A and B are shown apart, each in its own frame.
Chain A
Amino acid sequence: MNSTPILSLKDVDKNFGGLTAVDRLNMQVFAGQICGLIGPNGAGKTTVFNLITGVYPCEAGAIHLSNREITSSKPHRITRLGVARTFQTIRLFANLTTWEHLLIAQSFLTRAGVGRRLLPDRQREKELKAEAQEILSLLDLWEDRQRKAVTLPYGSQRKVEIARALATRPKLLLLDEPAAGMNMRETEDLLHIIAKIHAQKQNMAILVIDHDMDFVMQICEYIFVLNFGIKITEGTPDAIQQDEKVKEAYLGKEE
């Protein structure tokens, strides 16, 4: 395993008004890992994602993507550098088909200027289209490619969101509560898909937030636990399950 982490957070702080959302957070994710970020409601998990993707600026600390500092970079720069995410509530483009979602995601990969956007660079276009096709096939979305994405069933919509993220060729994929709102079958399907993606893209790191402990335990190799914006522990799923502090955070102190 590479010694430089793909993602590293060092002493990151985030306040909203007087409220501390994230407190001196230190985290490292390595290439090819699937990690989980768990914690009770309001622990600050989505805030961490927003900090990484540049949506929120942080008060203190540094965030690095491999060797590159991205602490104060703008969101679209961070996307171009290789960080992709999905959102807690699925945010698809209401008028675009599944296929078009991937095309959009690849926009910056065409590296075309204003003039060139109208006259495509044939070779690059072919490559990108082949890539998009590959991603859709991987996620079993090829048949639905011409359908308006928002008309697909919920589980598929989530997959479209993930496909869209993958199309940006990320080094780091952030999944924010991917299983939210899904039934058993859809969650199974999702686990399966994430495993497939992980197997296919072995250099890509994945960081997953979810409430569903079973989900996270099944898919992640390493887990970070947050409570009230502080990392209370980290470790393998087995270690986490035994950890008293984690139980306390979720279930409250035992009297």
Chain B
Amino acid sequence: MFLQQLFNGIMLGSTYALIAISFTLLMGVLNMLNFAIGELFMLGAIIGLTFVNFGMSFYVAFPLAMICSGCACLIIERFSFRPLRNAPPLVPLLSTMGFSILIGSTAENIWGSERSQFPQWIEPIDFHIGSVLISSTELIILAAAVIIMIGLDLFIQRTRIGRGMRAVAENIDTASILGVDSNLIIPVTFFASGALAGASGILFGLSFSIVSPFMGMQPGIKGIAAMIVGGMGNIRGAIVGGMLIGIIEVLSVGYLGATAKDFAVYGVLFLALVVRPQGILGMLQTERERI
């Protein structure tokens, strides 16, 4: 029972991890909290579903949907980031809240407020590993999530652009002196963030058979929670945080009942903030007040 719950928690946790990475990318590289990522998560799922319903193969629809949510994030860059570079950090945050409202409302109008789900895409075969029941769909989803995470990690560590992102994360001015083209890095970061959010939404929609214009709010908040708990600006932290939040959520439903679910998650977030705001893997740069 416990192992089954653990596995389910890992499933949920991996989607949370992806969306947490989405948040933490922008936070780490550009110090920006993009509140609309929850809606981009939703957009990925809903656009993916639309493509599939038009007859596109899953294997084409999903990358395409990721590209769409990536592009949507570029629009956010254009209006919430670029013109507000020098504004106090509250301003871009509020602007992304505006985008959140805009995207959510628009989706509701276009797709209606009903819930749908993805049609079956492969024959589900059930495995038993010890006492744990795993279906093939779940396995594939988990594999996809892991591949994406590994791919991203490699991208950041090994490619030129990835190094550029890390340089910008350190110090945007020094980075440009070192020849890093921030005009390239910034859109890439936004696109990656959006695409990841979309991917997360698709995987979530597949796992839990839910696609609706309202599906983004809770995962969005939990993604932020995961980012904070794991350590802001830190991709591995986001993964750890996402997994943790997912596991906590599932375990608390299993052992404390469905009612306790969000309690546990938000309780943990609140405690984490009060006790250790820099998160598990984070190092909080305390602003030493230089007087």
A–B touching in complex (CB under 8 Å): yes
Residues of A that sit less than 8 Å from B by CB: 46, 50, 55, 87-88
Shortest distance from the beta carbon of A249 to any chain B beta carbon, whole Å = 24
How many interface residues does B have (CB within 8 Å)? 2
For residue B291, CB closer than 8 A to chain A, the reply is yes
Q: Which residues of A have CB within 8 Å of B289?
A: 55
Shortest distance from the beta carbon of B88 to any chain A beta carbon, whole Å = 10
Q: How many A-B residue pairs have CB under 8 A?
A: 6
Shortest distance from the beta carbon of A155 to any chain B beta carbon, whole Å = 22
Q: From A88, which residue of chain B is reached at the shortest CB distance?
A: B291
Residues of B that sit less than 8 Å from A by CB: 289, 291
Complex Cα spacing A87 to B291, Å: 7
Shortest distance from the beta carbon of B87 to any chain A beta carbon, whole Å = 13
Shortest distance from the beta carbon of A89 to any chain B beta carbon, whole Å = 9
Q: Which residues of B have CB within 8 Å of A55?
A: 289, 291
Q: Which residues of A have CB within 8 Å of B291?
A: 46, 50, 55, 87-88
Complex Cα spacing A87 to B290, Å: 10
Complex Cα spacing A50 to B290, Å: 10
Q: Which residues of B have CB within 8 Å of A87?
A: 291
Q: From B289, which residue of chain A is reached at the shortest CB distance?
A: A55
Complex Cα spacing A185 to B291, Å: 26
Complex Cα spacing A46 to B291, Å: 8
Complex Cα spacing A55 to B291, Å: 9
Shortest distance from the beta carbon of A85 to any chain B beta carbon, whole Å = 9
Complex Cα spacing A87 to B289, Å: 12
Q: Which residues of B have CB within 8 Å of A46?
A: 291
6 CB contacts below 8 A, A to B, read A46-B291, A50-B291, A55-B289, A55-B291, A87-B291, A88-B291
Complex Cα spacing A88 to B291, Å: 8
Q: From A87, which residue of chain B is reached at the shortest CB distance?
A: B291
Q: Which residues of B have CB within 8 Å of A50?
A: 291
Complex Cα spacing A114 to B107, Å: 50
Shortest distance from the beta carbon of B91 to any chain A beta carbon, whole Å = 15
Shortest distance from the beta carbon of B127 to any chain A beta carbon, whole Å = 55
Q: Which 6 A-B pairs have the closest CB atoms?
A: A55-B291, A87-B291, A50-B291, A46-B291, A55-B289, A88-B291
Q: From A50, which residue of chain B is reached at the shortest CB distance?
A: B291
Shortest distance from the beta carbon of B86 to any chain A beta carbon, whole Å = 14
Complex Cα spacing A249 to B291, Å: 25
